[in-house]
Amino acid sequence: MPHDEICPYPDCGKTVKDWFIEWYPIPTQYEIGRQKLAMDCPYCRRPVMLSKRRPVIPTHAMNMEPRSYDAATQYARGLVERYPTLEAFLADPNQVEKAAPDKQGYGPYVNLP
């Protein structure tokens, strides 16, 4: 969550199928929900704040947290134990729309075609 929301930066403006807030550790998710921490747009990697469950440009200076590779891997493994790794989730043709922005440069580990 959120789903199918557009990046609020006009020069990005890409539709993000899934913002994967679940890819943050639980304490970080709470900070994002309380607008004390920004998440990053998976396309332009700039800070995005959630306001009423919609991504907006932060109204004030705030730290940005990139998604956690370990939390993302836990998410992928927790999907009915379907994916053994985050890379397997990202490479699944059924996840192509959701996974597109995260296939390249996601942390130091993921660089998929």
As a whole number of angstroms, the distance between CA 3 and CA 104 comes to: 20
Which amino acid, 49? Answer: M
**What are 56-113's pLDDT values in tens digits?**
999 889 999 888 888 888 888 886 568 888 888 888 888 877 777 766 666 556 656 5
Structurally, how many domains does the chain consist of?
Answer: 1
Using alpha carbons only, what angle is made at residue 99 by residues 93 and 104, rounded to the nearest 5 degrees?
A: 110
Domain span at residue 13 reads: 1-113
pLDDT of 92 reads 84
pLDDT in tens, 25-49: 999 999 999 999 999 998 998 999 9
- Residue 91: how many CB atoms within 10 A of its CB? 16
Q: How far apart are CA 103 and CA 55, in angstroms?
A: 21
Residue that wins the pLDDT comparison between 103 and 55 = 55
